Amino acid sequence: MAKLIALYKQPEDKAAFDEHYFNTHAPITKKIPGLKEMNVTKFVGTPMGKESDYYLMCEMVYESHNALKAGLKSDEGKASGKDLMNFAGSLVTLMIGEDVDE
């Protein structure tokens, strides 16, 4: 399994972010070939009761690193990447990860 993780910093306008994220960006992203699972987490704070550094995280699971790469290179992957950069280019951190079996 390979995962693409998108971490979004706190947006200035949370309502506008949510509107675009859930109604436009997520539907585009879900069409990427090879995407097996997409899990979204919204952060509500820290254990110390402060605002968290990040607002939202999305985990996108693929069968393998090759499947992830192929997904990103597909037309749907490019459309998702273009939309991402337009609405949240300055907020997002993208990382590729692997599950660790303990």
Binding status of residue 41 toward a copy of itself by CB under 8 A? yes
In whole angstroms, the minimum distance from the beta carbon of 29 to a copy of itself comes to: 11
Cα-only R_g, the chain: 14
Q: Which of 12, 15, 44, 90 binds a copy of itself (CB under 8 A)?
A: 44
Any idea which residue has 């090879």 for tokens?
Answer: 34
Q: Minimal distance in Å, beta carbon 48 to a copy of itself?
A: 8
Binding flags for a copy of itself, 71-100, as an x/- string (CB under 8 A)? -x--------------------xxxxxxxx
CB 77 within 8 A of CB 62: no
Question: Which stretch of DSSP H or E encloses residue 2?
Answer: strand 2-9
CB of 1 to a copy of itself, least distance (A): 10
Q: Are 59 and 7 in contact (CB under 8 A)?
A: no
φ, ψ dihedrals at 62, nearest 5°: -125, 160
Positions that interact with a copy of itself (CB under 8 A): 3-5, 7, 22, 26, 38-48, 52-54, 56-57, 65, 72, 93-100, 102
